[in-house]
Amino acid sequence: MCGRFVMIPRDVVERIVREVEQGLPPGVPDYELAGLDAFPGACVPVVVPGEGANGSGRLAVAELDWGYPVSWAKRPVFNTRVDTATGPRGQMWRESLEQRRCAVPTLGFYEPHRTERAVSPKTGREVKVQCAFGLPENPVTFLGGIYEDGHFSIMTCEPNRWVHDVHDRMPLVLRPSELGDWLGPRYADLFDRRDVELACRVA
């Protein structure tokens, strides 16, 4: 369950998108690596198919609010389980998944450890240890998402072996080379993320 990630400013995302389109590894200079933590409700630059592109060709960048507003909860729904969206109870998500997918460029995402705890230096209280994850070969880690009416939700799936001991879910992590497949008709091929290696550090 992803509830925090490091967002990348829009101007940097625009450059990253052009690099991905050219088949280049997306680069983020050291002076741009600070980033800002994004939480549900934040307005975030995300990658979407260009108009009329249908997942192939040029990519575009849109600024969307993180979380679908719903009448039955005070907070927006910011994660969408793959198994729920594709199952018999996935009506809320099905149209977005089939027709409006996006990719969220990040400098890594956080998950609270399921068992390990530590004293917070800010509050002095015992809290769950926060673990930061990202692709080991590049600072940019994309997360698969869906969107509707100016809002997006991050897709989550079964944890792979790099996340399993920390949390029972993980965001649907995308390699830069997989953006075209996620935004195109073969998106379901990417639901299984067991082979996507992730680096982990205590945040």
| Integer Cα distance of 33 and 107 in angstroms | 7
Per-residue pLDDT at 55: 44
Q: Which helix (H) or strand (E) holds 16?
A: helix 10-21
35-44, 46-55, 133-142, 162-171: which has the minimum mean pLDDT?
46-55
List Cα–Cα distances, 151 to 128, 160, 191, in angstroms: 29, 27, 21
pLDDT tens profile 72-110: 888 889 999 999 999 998 899 999 999 999 999 999 999
Burial call 101-132: b when 16+ CB within 10 Å, e when fewer: bbbbbbbbbbbbbeeeeeeeeeeeeeebebbb
Return the pLDDT at 43: 97
- The CA radius of gyration of the chain, in Å to the nearest whole number, is 16
Non-local (6+) Cβ contacts of 53 within 8 A are 59, 60, 183
